[in-house]
């Protein structure tokens, strides 16, 4: 027990060190409050990017002009869409997730895959080793082994922890510990695919009224002649790489998990169809000591979700942008494309990002957009709602200074316990963006990410409808952070150069609600005083 605890502590410490190193390195010259607002380097030069449409047309053509797209911004609806897609697969399934938890959602998902394998469907699964713990737990490893044992399923773990530590040692690069496959892909038969922000776990699919810790998220269901092949190629880049390691079938099966997986599948399937559980299923689940029946009964708004008719998809032009994990360079297709799209904005930029940790380059892009009169609206988490204390610590340091430099920026945060997890955006009412990419250094320069760029005014309106309703509802669900300005609109500062805050996190919450954030915040402020370290921060 002590050895296991030590391993956990060491692993967590290394991961935190890697994250601090990575974020600190990438935040060079994003000055914090109290530095007088100067810069040691010139801002990113601006240039004429062309019109928004011209930039969009210059993006990779993958996805084609005949794509169909359906927004999934309701949690139960998003789970039903996955269940329906699995059920309709006839030949093959391609699956990649950062997190797949061992709750009723994760186990029933694997049970559905086992059911499809028995029907002859060929399945390939790629799970990130740092996000998914299944292979590191006895029962979880048995579940994966059961799937592999069908002969129809190939499972790989992306960058197991042992290899991450070896890479970090050999390259002297702490980011090697955390570089991950952050893609979320579920594709069937080369014709339908589901991508977006959701992983496989309770918090992503429970209705907020049923589960107080459920996330606010967004996915899209894509269909078209080229969508499947493009996502297959993105998947293959990780699955066939040397960083993906096979989950091999055990030579001797100590435990047969087939019955467990199929029981979870049967229970979830009945609940989604609004059918009663069979007495046999209830008896077997109770006998094995699983809480799945009780877990499902706590989610009444998920019951019968398959009966709801899916929304009619929108025809649109789609470009799929993919970035692979990066250790030696911070350049990637998604970031390059987003920079060019932002530079072509003329009216408004809307960004929803769970984590907001901005590099100097992004701040400079915002400043340039503001100088053109572009309105910028950002919706993100507050210390109360965020599931990432480290990113929030950086956010608390940055936001007043960023607002001082970007006069057209309006910043909104969620004030309740429901973590905002959807990653989406829109530019000038015509271009919509949705995927796995966060506005933070991990997405910008380390992890594999996937984004759909969609040219469609109707879809852009649909994508922004929910965030705009949240913002319009105001407190206590949504708050707007503001800095103090004089009568000419200029930011007010104290003697040390700190931007004066008119309304911030301290006005709608107490430090008791975000102790972990406070600890990181204090650590960053102390680290700034160390010789040479302020350059990194």
Alpha-carbon torsion angle 345, 347, 350, 351, nearest 10: 30
pLDDT reported for residue 170: 81
The helix (run of H) or strand (run of E) holding residue 262 is: helix 258-273
pLDDT reported for residue 36: 42
Query: Has domain 42-55+319-477+492-527 been given CATH number 2.102.10.10?
Result: no
Instruction: Decide if 42-55+319-477+492-527 and 67-307 have a common fold.
Output: yes
| Distance separating alpha carbons of residues 84 and 76, to the nearest angstrom | 12
pLDDT reported for residue 524: 67
Pick the CATH number of 67-307 from 3.40.190.10, 3.30.870.10, 3.40.640.10, 2.30.30.90: 3.30.870.10
Contact 38, 293 (CB under 8 A): no
The CA-CA-CA angle for residues 174, 176, 181, to 5°, reads: 140
- Tens digit of pLDDT at every position of the chain (537 positions): 444 454 445 555 555 555 555 545 444 344 444 444 434 344 555 555 689 999 999 997 665 556 899 999 999 999 999 999 999 999 999 999 999 999 999 999 999 999 999 999 999 999 999 888 776 666 668 899 999 999 999 999 999 988 888 888 887 777 788 889 999 999 999 889 999 999 999 999 999 999 999 999 999 999 977 788 889 999 999 999 999 999 987 644 567 799 999 999 999 999 999 999 999 999 999 999 999 999 999 999 999 999 999 889 999 999 999 998 887 566 688 999 999 999 999 999 999 999 999 989 999 999 999 999 999 999 999 999 999 888 898 898 899 999 999 999 999 999 999 999 999 999 999 999 999 999 998 898 889 999 999 999 999 999 999 999 999 999 999 999 999 999 999 999 999 899 999 999 999 988 777 777 777 767 766 666 655 444 333
pLDDT reported for residue 32: 42
pLDDT reported for residue 183: 95
Instruction: Give the residue extent of every domain in the chain.
Output: 42-55+319-477+492-527, 67-307
- 302-341 burial: b if 16+ Cβ within 10 Å, else e: bbebbeeeeeebbebbbbbbbbbbbeeebebbbbebbbbb
Q: Which residues contact 238 (CB under 8 A, 6 or more apart)?
A: 96, 126, 158, 181, 183, 244, 324, 448
pLDDT reported for residue 77: 97
Q: pTM for this structure?
A: 0.89
Contact 356, 481 (CB under 8 A): no
pLDDT reported for residue 534: 41
Q: Parallel, antiparallel, or unpaired: how do β-strands 449-455 and 314-323 relate? A: antiparallel
């Amino acid at each position: 027990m002590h050895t296991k605890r030590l391993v956990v502590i060491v692993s967590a410490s290394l991961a935190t060190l890697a994250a601090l190193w990575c974020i600190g390195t990438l935040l060079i010259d994003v000055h914090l409050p109290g530095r007088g607002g100067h810069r040691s380097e010139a801002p990113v030069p601006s240039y004429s990017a062309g019109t928004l449409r011209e930039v969009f047309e210059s993006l990779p053509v993958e996805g084609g002009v005949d794509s169909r797209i359906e927004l999934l911004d309701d949690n139960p609806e998003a789970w039903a869409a996955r269940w329906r897609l699995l059920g309709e697969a006839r030949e093959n399934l391609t699956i990649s997730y950062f997190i797949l938890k061992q709750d009723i959602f994760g186990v029933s998902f694997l049970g559905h895959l086992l059911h499809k394998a028995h029907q002859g469907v060929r399945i390939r699964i790629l799970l990130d080793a740092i996000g998914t713990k299944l292979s590191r737990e006895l029962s979880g490893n048995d579940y994966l082994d059961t799937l592999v044992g069908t002969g129809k399923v190939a499972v790989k773990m992306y960058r197991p922890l042992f290899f991450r530590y070896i890479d970090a040692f050999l390259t002297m690069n702490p980011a090697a510990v955390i570089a991950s496959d952050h893609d979320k892909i579920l594709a069937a038969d080369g014709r339908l695919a589901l991508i977006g922000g959701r992983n496989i776990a309770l918090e992503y699919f429970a209705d907020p009224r049923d589960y107080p810790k459920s996330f606010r998220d967004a996915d899209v269901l894509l269909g078209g002649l080229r969508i499947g092949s493009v996502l297959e190629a993105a998947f293959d880049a990780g699955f066939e790489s040397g960083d993906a390691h096979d989950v091999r079938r055990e030579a001797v099966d100590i435990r047969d998990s087939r019955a467990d997986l199929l029981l979870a599948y049967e229970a979830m399937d009945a609940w989604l169809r609004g059918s009663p559980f069979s007495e046999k299923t209830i008896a077997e689940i109770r006998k094995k000591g699983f809480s799945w029946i009780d877990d499902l009964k706590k989610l009444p708004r998920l019951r019968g979700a398959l009966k709801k008719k899916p929304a009619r998809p929108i025809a649109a032009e789609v470009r799929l942008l993919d970035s692979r994990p990066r250790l030696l360079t911070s350049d990637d297709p998604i970031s390059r494309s987003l920079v060019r799209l932002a530079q072509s904005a003329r009216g408004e930029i809307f960004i929803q990002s769970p984590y907001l940790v901005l590099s100097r380059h992004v701040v400079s892009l915002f400043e340039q957009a503001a100088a053109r009169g572009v309105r910028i609206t950002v919706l993100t988490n507050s210390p109360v709602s965020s599931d990432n204390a480290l990113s929030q610590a950086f956010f608390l340091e940055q936001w007043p200074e960023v607002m001082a430099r970007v006069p057209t920026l309006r910043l909104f945060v969620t004030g309740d316990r429901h973590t905002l997890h959807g990653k989406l955006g829109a530019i000038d009412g015509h271009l919509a963006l949705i995927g796995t990419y966060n506005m933070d250094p991990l997405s910008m320069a380390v992890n594999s990410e996937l984004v759909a760029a969609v040219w469609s005014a109707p879809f852009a309106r649909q994508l922004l409808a929910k965030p705009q309703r949240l913002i319009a509802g105001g407190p206590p669900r949504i708050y707007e952070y503001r800095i103090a300005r004089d009568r000419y609109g200029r930011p007010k500062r104290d003697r040390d150069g700190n931007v004066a805050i008119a309304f911030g996190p301290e006005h709608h919450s107490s430090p008791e609600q975000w102790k972990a954030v406070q600890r990181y915040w204090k650590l960053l402020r102390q680290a700034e005083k160390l010789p040479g370290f302020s350059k990194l921060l």
